[in-house]
Amino acid sequence: MPGILFTSIGWGNLGLRLNDAPEDVTRRRENLRKSLSLQSLVFMKQTHSNRAELVDGSIPTIDSDAIVTSQRGVGLAVLVGDCLPILLRSAHGVAAIHAGRVGMVNGIVASTLSQLRSLGESAIDAIIGPSICADCYEVSPEMYEEVVSTVPAAATNPQVHQLNLQAGVTRQLANEGVEVLNMGICTKESGDFYSHRRSLSENLAEGRQVGVIYL
């Protein structure tokens, strides 16, 4: 069975380009790799795209918002601070998806499933890790209408303009025949996890946790 881990604040910030010194973040990432006894741990330069890439562990950082592998000992890491970390597994491989509002609308889920199925058709299941809930994700009326017109399952109440990203990607996955487990943990509400929105509202230092999956 694939291994799965979602880090918390206790693991420290694992995101570069924030307030921490790069060498400190690199050290934490290496400690994480060693703690899981992995040959390599692949991260992404995430840009809210629909780009999903097959990886073999030879390149430590990939420009994409999803990575897929069939290689044992290669960990896949997705960085989040409110967006959805989605981990997928099948009989032939595993995948990690970074799904924010833009990625969900642009089809990152479908792109990733296509790559994973290219390794061999089989049943796929998914787990959605700690991420922002609908109650904590209010957007502008224009943004709300733009998203729900493409992903109706993300709709909540047009008066308050809150987006349910967890419900949106769950429907996208289910429509593709994927069995989904949502941990149901909100990053903004839980002090155990980094949250971009909580950092802004409470003037806290930014941080990122990761979801990791590996064969």
CATH code assigned at 115: 3.60.140.10
pLDDT at 203: 87
pLDDT at 72: 95
pLDDT at 134: 95
Q: Is 159 within a domain?
A: no
Q: Which residue has the higher pLDDT, 15 or 18?
A: 15
Mean pLDDT of 182-202: 94
CA-CA distance, 25 to 15, in Å (whole number)?
7
| DSSP helix/strand/coil, 11 | helix
pLDDT tens digits, 50-65:
999 999 999 999 999 9
Q: How large a percentage of the chain has pLDDT more than 70?
A: 100
CA-CA distance, 94 to 75, in Å (whole number)?
9
**Quick check: 1 pLDDT over 80?**
no
Q: Is 207 within a domain?
A: yes
Residue 54, CA distances (Å) to 88, 94, 96, 114, 134 in order: 13, 10, 11, 11, 31
Q: Look up residue 32 and give its two tokens.
A: 């994480």
C-beta neighbour count of 157 within 10 angstroms: 9
Beta strands in 162-208 (DSSP E): 179-182
Q: Tokens 């000992």 identify what position? A: 73
pLDDT at 92: 93
Instruction: Give pTM, 2 decimals.
Output: 0.95
Q: Is 139 within a domain?
A: no
pLDDT band for 18, please (50, 70, 90 cuts). Answer: confident
Q: Tokens 């420290």 identify what position? A: 12
Q: Is 140 within a domain?
A: no
Q: Is 62 within a domain?
A: yes
pLDDT tens digits, 77-111:
999 999 999 999 999 999 999 999 999 999 999 99
Q: Is 138 within a domain?
A: no
pLDDT at 204: 86
Domain that holds residue 77: 3-132+166-214
Mean pLDDT of 194-215: 93
Residue 66: what residue type?
A: A
Domain count, the chain: 1
Per-chain mean pLDDT for the chain:
95
pLDDT tens digits, 157-180:
888 999 999 999 999 999 999 999
Q: Is 176 within a domain?
A: yes
pLDDT band for 42, please (50, 70, 90 cuts). Answer: very high
**Quick check: 76 pLDDT over 90?**
yes
pLDDT at 3: 93
